[in-house]
Amino acid sequence: MEVWKYKTKLAEWKFHRKVKRADVFTALREHKNPIGSSTLLVLRRPFNREGIVKYAARNGISLTADLFQEQQQESCRLFGSSPSYSFDGNSISVISKRFFHDVVGLVQGSFESNTWRFNGNNAIIISTSKQVAERKFLHDFLAGIDIGCSVAQKGGTNLAFQHWNRAFNLVPFLITGRYHDHLPNILQKINDLNRNGYNEVARSLQNHIARMSQEYMRQGCKTARLYKSFESLNLDQMEEIEERLMKAFRKLFEFYLGQTCYNSFVMMMNAARRRLTRCSWISLDECLPKLEDLDRRFGPADPRALEVIRSRLSLCFLRKEYRQMAEEAPILIDRAKKIHNDSWQQSYFLTKGYYRLGSAQHELGEYSNVKGNLSKAAFWEKEFRKADNNATDIFEPERRHIEEQLISIQDLMLVAEGNVIDHQAE
């Protein structure tokens, strides 16, 4: 649904300044599926519901053509005018329920106050005036945690703690920021640390967040109160807490932005990817959207379709399904090459495609092609940084892994050459 189709009717509908895009979606949904008078719109302002519905009918504005209704997935269904949440499960503590209500209040309040605002159907929302800086803090934090885990798994404990310490030092910037992806990613990294066996580091991060929040609460930081509750959350329940939080974010983003908005799609994908990360016995096709549906609606080079393939490759790597990775990575590469007039997206997905292809071949022992594909990944990673104006360094973990694998290939080649020389000498 395009904004311009109803903008000229705002006065007739009795809307005031800062009209919420979700109101129009809601009016149409209520007309189709009345659920009573207890809605968010009642709390906002009076509006002419019938006027909206009649105008939508005259101009062909409909919810029935929504792509995600066709998929018949629970994670993508339309819901009523106000998302509902159940926090009555016996496995979730009273403190956790309070945390969830605070989370919902944060997201709703941010959209209602126009702090988080729609930025186009094919773009991420604007959630802070310092979006570039806050996004960089987040990606540096994620890189610190991920690289620390990778180094620790190879026995480099001291170096691992240096990377984790770097991530810990970025916590104040995250808990005082308003970027919409901070909270989900912080919770996910605590769970990643715990799941990988670094439960003491996970607990330390949890406590560090709570301590920093207490300090910034005294300074009047509005978001600090939410993070203060981390000290009381049960680490053993964190994965269930994360799953419920991701569902809440997904529903709220769909409600305020519409289901075909790219940012709503990203939230749905994040929830699906995290579930597949936790539950390795669930097939990828059970949770991820079908490519044919996305291709029909958006085209084969749309970032939504490429994001699905990228997620499949990432999950295959976690599940050690390297043959499947090697088969699907060329599909991502081929589609990314068809992206025009968007060097950021093209270089991003080409980096991912060549990196996953080279990594899969390395694990499969197909060394003849590894160097070429990883070198291409390194090339496109440099192109991405140019397109990104070096605003973030989101490929730092991949860049380190590429360097390690290229060194490994070089060592194997030297060993092979040495064996040939020895054989000839004999």
**Is 215 part of any domain?**
yes
**Is 239 part of any domain?**
yes
How much is the pTM? 0.76
Do 108 and 218 lie in a common domain? yes
Do 348 and 415 lie in a common domain? yes
**Is 294 part of any domain?**
no
DSSP E strand stretches across 18-118 = none
C-alpha–C-alpha distance, residues 324 and 282, integer Å: 16
Do 160 and 268 lie in a common domain? yes
Q: What is the per-residue pLDDT across 157-167, written as a single tens digit (0 to 9) for each? A: 899 999 999 99
C-alpha–C-alpha distance, residues 66 and 258, integer Å: 9
Residue 137 has pLDDT above 50, yes or no: yes
Q: What is the per-residue pLDDT across 27-72, written as a single tens digit (0 to 9) for each? A: 665 555 543 333 333 333 445 556 666 666 665 555 443 333 333 3
Q: Which domain holds residue 58?
A: 4-65
**Is 315 part of any domain?**
no
Determine contact, residues 395/363, Cβ cutoff 8 Å: no
The residue written with tokens 């599926």 in the block is 33
Q: Which amino acid is at 274?
A: R
Query: Looking at residue 403, what is its pLDDT?
Result: 86
**Is 303 part of any domain?**
no
Do 268 and 384 lie in a common domain? no
Q: Which amino acid is at 242?
A: E
Q: Which of 289, 311, 339 finishes a domain?
A: 289
Q: Which of 23, 44, 65 finishes a domain?
A: 65
Q: Calculate the alpha carbon distances from 157 to 55, 162, 395 in Å.
A: 64, 9, 22
Do 232 and 369 lie in a common domain? no
C-alpha–C-alpha distance, residues 265 and 261, integer Å: 6
Do 173 and 30 lie in a common domain? no
Residue 253 has pLDDT above 50, yes or no: yes
Burial of residue 155 (CB within 10 Å: 0-12, 13-18, 19+) is exposed
Residue with the bigger pLDDT between 41 and 256: it is: 256
Do 117 and 192 lie in a common domain? yes
Residue 127 has pLDDT above 60, yes or no: yes
Q: Which of 50, 65, 80 finishes a domain?
A: 65
Do 242 and 346 lie in a common domain? no
**Average pLDDT, rounded, for the chain:** 81
Q: How many residues does the chain have?
A: 426
Do 50 and 114 lie in a common domain? no
**Is 78 part of any domain?**
no
**Is 394 part of any domain?**
yes
User: To 5 degrees, how large is the angle CA 379–CA 385–CA 390?
Assistant: 155
Do 265 and 338 lie in a common domain? no
- Total number of domains in the chain: 3
Assign 48 to helix, strand or coil: coil
Do 116 and 206 lie in a common domain? yes
Do 29 and 119 lie in a common domain? no
Query: Looking at residue 35, what is its pLDDT?
Result: 39
Two structure tokens written together for 61: 């504005």
Helix (H) or strand (E) holding 167: helix 157-168
Q: What is the per-residue pLDDT across 191-250, written as a single tens digit (0 to 9) for each? A: 999 999 999 999 999 999 999 998 887 777 777 778 988 988 889 889 999 999 999 999
Q: What is the per-residue pLDDT across 297-336, written as a single tens digit (0 to 9) for each? A: 999 999 999 999 999 999 999 999 999 999 999 999 999 9
C-alpha–C-alpha distance, residues 179 and 135, integer Å: 7
Query: Looking at residue 411, what is its pLDDT?
Result: 75
Q: What is the per-residue pLDDT across 71-101, written as a single tens digit (0 to 9) for each? A: 333 333 333 445 555 555 555 566 677 888 8
Q: What is the per-residue pLDDT across 373-413, written as a single tens digit (0 to 9) for each? A: 999 999 999 999 999 887 777 888 888 888 888 888 877 76
Query: Looking at residue 23, what is its pLDDT?
Result: 56
**Is 131 part of any domain?**
yes
Q: Which residues contact 360 (CB under 8 A, 6 or more apart)?
A: 316, 317, 322, 323, 325, 326, 329
